Structure 1
Amino acid sequence: MRVLDALKLPSLAGAREVLPGQQTREVMLAHVVDVPEAPRWVTPGTFLLSTGLSWPRDPAVLRALGEDLAACDPAAVVLAVPHFFTAFPHDLAAPMAARGIPTLELPYEVPFARVVQEVHAHILREQADVLRRSERIHRALTRAALSGSVTDVAQTLADGLGWQAVVFGRDGQPLTRGNAPDVAAVTGALARPGNGPRDLSGGTLVPVTLRGGREGGVWVAPHPAPGGLGAAPDLAVRAAEHAATVVGLLLLAQHDAEVREARLGYAFVDTLLEGRFTGDPTAQERAARLGFDPEGAYAVGLLVLGDPLPLTAEGFASRERAAQELRQVLVSLQAPPLVSVNLNTVWFLLPEKVSPGRVWARLGWQGPHAPGGMVYGRVRRGAAAAALGRAETLTLAAHARTGELRSYAEVLVPRALSGDRDAQADLTDSLLGPLRAARGAPGLLETIRTLCATGFSQVETAARLRVHANTLRYRMERIEALTGRSLTDPETRALWWLALQLAELRE
């Protein structure tokens, strides 16, 4: 009930506004207060009735009383006149008008008991009407759920309220049509703590929760057209909460179906990663259905989640959400969702044409508060190479960092320094291999060894090699072209020194 609704009651027909206020303020109850220290008995939303019996006469004290009453945030203040006051004192009305609180004069002969009775009866009728309409909308939403469509749920909600209604996914994208707020505003509202309704763009957003996580939200708002108020706000919020429950049930059924489908994919991907792909007609048919090319080139990737082992129920739910997000990202990049899960990790096969950086960017897991990190190995061709890729990527898992994307090349040095012989071999081969296979290999190898020995001083290197400066620059340019690394980069120089030391150890 609002103040403007109260002023339409028969008992308040003779009320006169003293100073303008916000007549749309919500009335929670009507209360007569004619005792000293009146602010002690006033709560937000009180429709305060008084004869002024205990009000002071001094203007400064009246002004202080007005400020204290305004701080209590009543819906309105009504004074019976004339008796103790011939009119509503301006010193008391001004502080309340400054906060938008209506101040009213009511003829003294109107009984306060009648006003209280009519106000409370109206509030009770409104609440009963909200319950009846809410029940009707709830039954309609339940029937709409049988269609299995969130679009039908949103339309039923909009029809029942006379408001706008839009259903959003977890990423803030609208799942139904409507004049919806922008994605950033929705995701920001969904990120707020708690699962209760929250204000958004002139309406209310109710989060849809599923298995401990937020899967989206239901937004309702009055139509922007004049006169498009529709249902009462309380009814709209209750109905939106019903709709959020129904949407959650629909998403749960949809997720369960997706999980069953994903399990079949998990088994196939596990077959590849474990080297058990036989290539028989049945396996070929399943590969074709899941989008895997046995002759194609793939990198093996791994999402390492931050959930501790053994996984709790929340940890399992977090892993499933991560796998689902990854599948959606792969599909959006036109790659087959070849995904599997194990403990607190999510494995996947990434076609050569799709950059791991694009996958990482679409996931949006950057920063220290991300669910986990991602590592990936080198691209290999053929179904049999998937097992090799898995073994390689598994060695990278210990180097995964939350909120970071790391490649095989990026963790090669830490692995080599920790004594990983495979990493040491890969590091030396990646630098020395192109030189050993090139024409004039002895001269190129001797040049890089001498550069490292002289701290990359070109003058001293040329003198030790007994070659002209131009000859040295030519060799250095060839080394850079063959390895794809600049010799002016301090990090590359350190890698060359390390590679040469490891090569001597191996030899």
Structure 2
Amino acid sequence: MRLSEVLALPVCRDVRRVSAGNAQRGNLDPEVLLAHVIDVPHSERWVSRGTLMLTTGLSWPQDEAELSELGEQLAQQQPAAVLLAVPGPLTAFPVQVARALAAAGVAALELPYAVPFASVVRAVHEANVREQSALLERSEAIHRALTRSALGGGLSDVVETLALHLNRPVAMVGADGEYRLGAVAGLPAPSVLERELARPGAAPRRLAGGLLTPILLRGERAGGLWIGSGDAAEASAQGSGLDLRSAEHAATVAALLLLAQQNIEQREAQLGAAFVDTLLEGRLSDDPVADSAAWERARRLGFDPLRPYVVALLTLTGTLPPSLDDVAQRERLAGQVRAALRTLGAAPLLSVGLSHLWLLLPATVSPERLWTLLGSETASRLSLVYTRPRTGAAGIATGRAEALSLAPHVPTGEVRGAAQLLLPRALSGDRDAQRDLVASLLGPLEQVRGGAALIQTVRTLCEHSWAQDRAAAALAVHKNTLRYRIGRIEDLTGRPLSEADTRSLWWLALQLDGLERASVLP
């Protein structure tokens, strides 16, 4: 209890505050931990912080210098107050002692000599016991309310319950200090919260007039609960430790809820991974009747068999077999990927291997955007390849083989798609890539009227080093006709013939097409 509350007790109604001249009259706000009668020499040795010292001054010196020294020695012990019974051995509170106490913010008080010290001590201790009992009852009520909220609700119910019972703003933040749930009034900046949460230890810590309590999950910080400062009526509860007890229990309840949520997510992830593996390994039929149970599970997991998907492969750096650090890194990465997929509005369809992650991304979701969401620090330890869009179970299984053929061509820290890797794959002897390269350039021309003439035009340009005058003469067409054909070719393929890279691709594609037609390639 506070000194002001002690002075409000009936037994202290005649207590008088002592004025020490121009000095302050002492602080009435300190917490009174106990009341103790001290009437022995060297009384400063028997005083501790928060003690309400009751004395007759019987052992106090008479010399003014010694009285000043006594006041300074008592003030150093930081008692809650010094209460002198008068008139007794001393007719009034010595001004030298009062001045030294007031300089340290300690109140000097006078009590009528007729009031027994035992009455004061008993009243103070009874009031302290009542306050502690009320505090424990309130703490137990909050404990029960938080437990009920956890059993019948979620994290938001825990935050709201704590705020209701403490009558103060309460917010839940992540380990990065970013706001998650609850009130935001007075919430410190995320960088401040993140720094405080990173400090060692699990104990609550005072911050910006409030209280921040870490939430620990399997030894790691999963975030924190922040309790804001309340009005003056709540100051006593804060000082007595109610907020500490409530915050610690709420943090424990929140950790249990997060753990249950994490376990559910892990089970869902395991089911999703098993389904993704089934698709990638070609063990699922495209017939929804033959595999009705599997396709029903697929729909629940967010997979649409009629929707085109790209198969993406994230490769991790590390040793094989993986170390404990590698395993932890892999699990953290899987969590990051799931969060990024939710941000992109995609179902978290992924499977985690020893040194890789398989992903099924809707064709409308950009793999480059996913790569960006993972962050540069994470991406620097990975490589990502993705295939062309494919539909159905058979298409996904084919995509797995394509992704495996793409992976060796992508260095760590980069992301590449199948279209970007056609040339290196074709040059390395990948026959599927060679056929894809030919189809990507010649295919669009073969599908339109007059396509044969367009292909012959490109071939003639290649043969004459892309000199338009010589090519037009060899084709026996006007220059304007040649320019029209060039524009048509560029529109159909999406590649400008003026670029050296495009010319090299055309030359290679025509050579591969010639070999194919000559049946050199099977």
Q: TM-score range by the shorter chain?
A: 0.5 to 0.7
1:239 positional shift: 1.6
1:386 positional shift: 0.8
Which residue among 158, 162, 165 is the counterpart of 1:157? 162
Equivalent position of 2:88 in the other structure: none
Confirm whether residue 138 of structure 1 aligns to residue 149 of structure 2: no
Identity %: 37
Equivalent position of 2:353 in the other structure: 342
Equivalent position of 1:302 in the other structure: 313
Q: Give the Cα separation in 2 of the matches to 1:435 and 1:449.
A: 21
Secondary structure of 2:374's partner? coil
Equivalent position of 2:87 in the other structure: none
Q: Give the Cα separation in 2 of the matches to 1:430 and 1:3.
A: 89
* Contact 1:26–1:75 (CA under 8 A) maintained in structure 2: no
Which residue among 164, 180, 192 is the counterpart of 2:198? 192
* Contact 1:480–1:486 (CA under 8 A) maintained in structure 2: yes
Equivalent position of 1:443 in the other structure: 457
Q: Give the Cα separation in 2 of the matches to 1:355 and 1:391.
A: 21
1:145-204 alpha-carbon deviations (Å, 9 max, x no partner): 332533443344334433333444667453457758489468746763444434556422
Distance 1:86 1:332, change over 3 A: closer
Confirm whether residue 406 of structure 1 aligns to residue 415 of structure 2: yes
Equivalent position of 1:289 in the other structure: 300
Distance 1:3 1:306, change over 3 A: farther
- What residue identity is the alignment partner of 1:391? A
Equivalent position of 2:386 in the other structure: 377
1:202-255 alpha-carbon deviations (Å, 9 max, x no partner): 42232322234433332222346x645473253212321211111211222222
Secondary structure of 2:17's partner? coil
Equivalent position of 1:245 in the other structure: 252
Which residue among 386, 391, 398 is the counterpart of 1:388? 398
1:421 positional shift: 3.0
* Contact 1:154–1:176 (CA under 8 A) maintained in structure 2: yes
Secondary structure of 2:223's partner? strand
Q: Give the Cα separation in 2 of the matches to 1:120 and 1:430.
A: 92
Q: Give the Cα separation in 2 of the matches to 1:109 and 1:138.
A: 44
Which residue among 353, 358, 363 is the counterpart of 1:352? 363
TM-score using structure 2 length: 0.65
1:116-138 alpha-carbon deviations (Å, 9 max, x no partner): 99999999987787666545533
Distance 1:24 1:108, change over 3 A: closer
Q: Give the Cα separation in 1 of the matches to 2:127 and 2:423.
A: 74
- What residue identity is the alignment partner of 1:484? G
1:294 positional shift: 2.5
TM-score using structure 1 length: 0.66
Secondary structure of 1:231's partner? helix
Gaps of 5+ in 2: 85-91, 516-522
Distance 1:146 1:431, change over 3 A: closer
* Contact 2:175–2:194 (CA under 8 A) maintained in structure 1: no
Structure 1 range deviating more: 296-305 or 79-88 = 79-88
Give matches, 1:450-461, under 5 Å: 461=467
Q: Give the Cα separation in 2 of the matches to 1:132 and 1:504.
A: 87
- What residue identity is the alignment partner of 2:155? V
Secondary structure of 1:368's partner? helix
Give matches, 1:44-59, under 5 Å: none
Distance 1:336 1:465, change over 3 A: same
* Contact 2:210–2:228 (CA under 8 A) maintained in structure 1: yes
Give matches, 1:12-411, under 5 Å: 14-16=17-19, 18-19=23-24, 85=96, 88=99, 102=105, 133-168=138-173, 172-175=178-181, 181=187, 184=190, 188=194, 192-194=198-200, 195-199=202-206, 202-223=209-230, 227-229=233-235, 231-233=237-239, 234-280=241-287, 281=289, 282=292, 283-305=294-316, 309-311=320-322, 316=327, 319-361=330-372, 364-368=373-377, 373=382, 375-383=384-392, 384-397=394-407, 406-408=415-417
Secondary structure of 1:174's partner? strand
* Contact 1:292–1:336 (CA under 8 A) maintained in structure 2: yes
Secondary structure of 1:216's partner? strand
Give the number of aligned pairs: 474
Q: Give the Cα separation in 1 of the matches to 2:422 and 2:129.
A: 73
- What residue identity is the alignment partner of 1:287? A
Larger Rg belongs to: 2
Gaps of 5+ in 1: 97-101, 452-457
Secondary structure of 1:272's partner? helix
